[in-house]
Structure 1
């Protein structure tokens, strides 16, 4: 059975549906350094560099690091501590595609940047680059950020640009599309919530069909930003 990294607030229904699809859930411990709405979001707390390397925030629970170690990943810690104010909260929230590493590079943790090899570094103003972007394959993405859209498209990716909003994130006005989902395996993407309850459902579903991607809805109700689902 494969493993996924998820927010501690992921519902039992969502975890059960992940299990039914062949995935064991590993809870990422929340950080008291971040504000409550995002304190358990995996895309704020860690970054998967590649299939063998993960970087976690400096104060990550040792028990979690041991779990990742036992899955044969090399674990590095950040140089900086997370803090609850922008930009001290974004040091790991970069978008890492097959060929591109995209972030507000001024604020990317230097230990993370040092591990990025053989990829084009793309600098954007949006510090929440991963939150803002859902990767659906190596060659396609969905985002609500026009500059991220333009950079990815310029670099050969197929990109769907959506308006912001209509995504739940308790404690804030709305969440980001990137935080609502994650690739389970090639051709399958899991969503927290149901796309059929999303204002832009037809646009997204059409794009997924065009890219031959099957959506899996982990729960009923509106899409909710849980800080991305990462498959190990």
Structure 2
């Protein structure tokens, strides 16, 4: 198991995740703005059977993916330093759906999901804002995403992004604090600092997921935690 994380993730969180697999710590410079320069969900889009990686992902990470026998394809869009040129790969893919701002989705993602239902959201940072608990239930920190999903017959609960840390911004996004492996939802930080923790726990636990808090600090938007299985594990 390879676990892709932001290099800026707290060491305590990295140590706990290291019990579940090998960490690939992401750090870039001069591609996107600094707050998200190590965010996995900016440079990688996770599909059922592998990854779609940004065209300008630094070569050292491409070589690591190859050496670790990770299945991936390369996108067509280079990332940019400002929105919306930062969101080409920040989509959510499931067995049935592609959820993203479809005006900015990388063409490779669009081609690979041509048989799925495409759901448009105005929010380009879709993965940052969305937690998928299966194929038909979601948690989001963006009310526009919530409306889009409900219009397409999907259940989605909104939780405020307040009190989620992201350097240089008033707040981060809830989906960016999380990653899911099997039925474990890992969250970077402690829900003890989150005003809506009880309702969040109730929903997540109600769908059969166990929450593992990676630190005792406030929730930290680390650009999602991506778990990807090797071709030969």
| TM-score, normalized by the shorter chain, greater than 0.5 | yes
CA contact 1:65–1:75 (8 Å) conserved in 2: no
| More off after superposition, 189-198 vs 53-62 | 53-62
Q: Which moved more, 1:156-165 or 1:197-206?
A: 156-165
**Partner residue in 2 for 1:181:** 178
- Render the CA deviation track for 1:10-35: whole Å, top value 9, x for unaligned: 12211111123x22211123242111
Aligned with 2:203 (options 188, 203, 207) = 207
2:35 aligned with 1:40: no
Between stretches 61-70 and 202-211, larger displacement belongs to: 61-70
- Name the structure 2 match of 1:126: 123
**Could you tell me whether the CA contact under 8 Å between 1:197 and 1:223 is conserved in 2?**
yes
User: What residue number does 2:106 align with?
Assistant: 109
Q: Which runs of 5+ in 1 are unaligned?
A: none
Give me the whole-angstrom Cα distance separating, in 1, the residues matched to 2:25 and 2:149: 30
Which position in structure 2 is the counterpart of 1:198? 194
Match of 2:10 in 1: 11
SS of the residue 2:189 aligns to: coil
Kept in 2: contact 1:31–1:45 (CA 8 A): no
Contact in 2 for aligned 1:34/1:84 (Cα 8 Å): yes
- In structure 2, the residue matched to 1:23 is 21
Per the TM alignment, residue 95 of structure 1 is displaced from its structure 2 partner at its CA by: 1.6
Which is worse superposed, 73-82 or 118-127? 73-82
**TM-score scaled by length of structure 1:** 0.91
Map Cα deviations across residues 179-209 of structure 1 (whole Å, 9 max, x no partner).
0001022x21100001121111111011112
Q: Distance in 2 between matches of 1:85 and 1:212?
A: 38
Using the TM superposition, name which of 140-149 and 105-114 deviates more.
140-149
Q: Distance in 1 between matches of 2:193 and 2:72?
A: 38
2 CA distance for matches of 1:141 and 1:31? 32
Quote the Cα distance in structure 2 between the aligned partners of 1:136 and 1:91.
Answer: 23
Instruction: Name structure 2 gaps, 5 residues minimum.
Output: 229-233
* Cα distance between partner residues in 2 of 1:89 and 1:197: 29
Q: Does 1:171 align with 2:179?
A: no
Matched, 1:95 2:92: yes
Distance in 2 (alpha carbons) for counterparts of 1:101 and 1:84:
25
Change in 2 beyond 3 A, CA 1:55/1:29: farther
1:222 aligned residue:
218
Distance 1:41 1:113 in 2: 21
Tell me the number of residue pairs that the alignment of Structure 1 and Structure 2 aligns.
228
Deviates more, 1:171-180 or 1:69-78: 69-78
Runs of 4 or more above 3 Å deviation? 70-74, 136-139, 153-158
Distance in 1 (alpha carbons) for counterparts of 2:203 and 2:113: 30
